[in-house]
Amino acid sequence: MKTIVYFYSHKGSNRYLAHRIAKDLNCEIEEIKPRLSSQLLMLMKLNLGNRKLKTNIVNYERVILCGPIWMGQLIVPLKNFVIKYNSKINNLIFVTCCGSTFDKKDEKFGHNLVFNELKTLSGTKCSHCEAFPIALVLPDEQKEDSDAFMKTHLNDQNFNGEIVEIYTKFIHTIKVL
């Protein structure tokens, strides 16, 4: 299936994840660039839209969208992307490297709420959502430490152990979807 990864990342974890997925699927990748790059303004929901994509989304049978979660919501650049391109997408997969753990996925800031928001926004297009909580790369004693996971970003050194198991299953799942 001809696939492309579109991603937005502020601190680098979702950039790392998106590039890894594109490499493993041997597919194209493009960064989503909001016209306003200030995280504060985005959090305040100030919205000037995203810059035009370089790739033509209609050329792909499947779109993998990758980006962070802030304040329990689908962030502005990702929301703009879905609103603008949903009608041109056949099959959408959403992936996030986020702060919320699997235990807390249904809480106020949990990733499941964002998965539901995305599924509502994209209608029948979204076939799969997957979370890679940053705590997966932290030692046990830091897994509940919010300061530690705000300071931790995915990279080649910490992408090992539990996160690789989940990631490998994810790649296998989407290869057979």
Ligand X SMILES: Cc1cc2nc3c(=O)[nH]c(=O)nc-3n(C[C@H](O)[C@H](O)[C@H](O)COP(=O)(O)O)c2cc1C
Residues of the shown chain interacting with ligand X in the complex, contacts defined by CB under 6 A: 9-15, 68-72, 97-100, 109, 111, 134, 153
* Six token digits for residue 77: 């650049």
* Six token digits for residue 171: 């790649």
Which residues are 28's β-sheet partners? Answer: 4
How far apart are the C-alpha atoms of 115 and 130, rounded to whole Å? Answer: 9
Helix, strand or coil for residue 65? strand
Which residue minimizes CB distance to ligand X? 99
CB of residue 10 vs ligand X: minimum separation in angstroms?
A: 3
Sign of CA dihedral 115, 159, 81, 27: negative
∠ CA(68), CA(98), CA(31), 5° rounding?
A: 30
Nearer to ligand X, 13 or 122 (CB): 13
CB of residue 151 vs ligand X: minimum separation in angstroms?
A: 9
Nearer to ligand X, 31 or 90 (CB): 31
Cβ atoms within 10 Å, residue 139: 9
Nearer to ligand X, 111 or 125 (CB): 111
CB of residue 52 vs ligand X: minimum separation in angstroms?
A: 22
CB of residue 94 vs ligand X: minimum separation in angstroms?
A: 13
Cβ atoms within 10 Å, residue 32: 19
Which position has the token pair 């995305």? 118
CB of residue 8 vs ligand X: minimum separation in angstroms?
A: 8
Nearer to ligand X, 59 or 155 (CB): 155
Nearer to ligand X, 91 or 135 (CB): 135
* Six token digits for residue 1: 């299936």
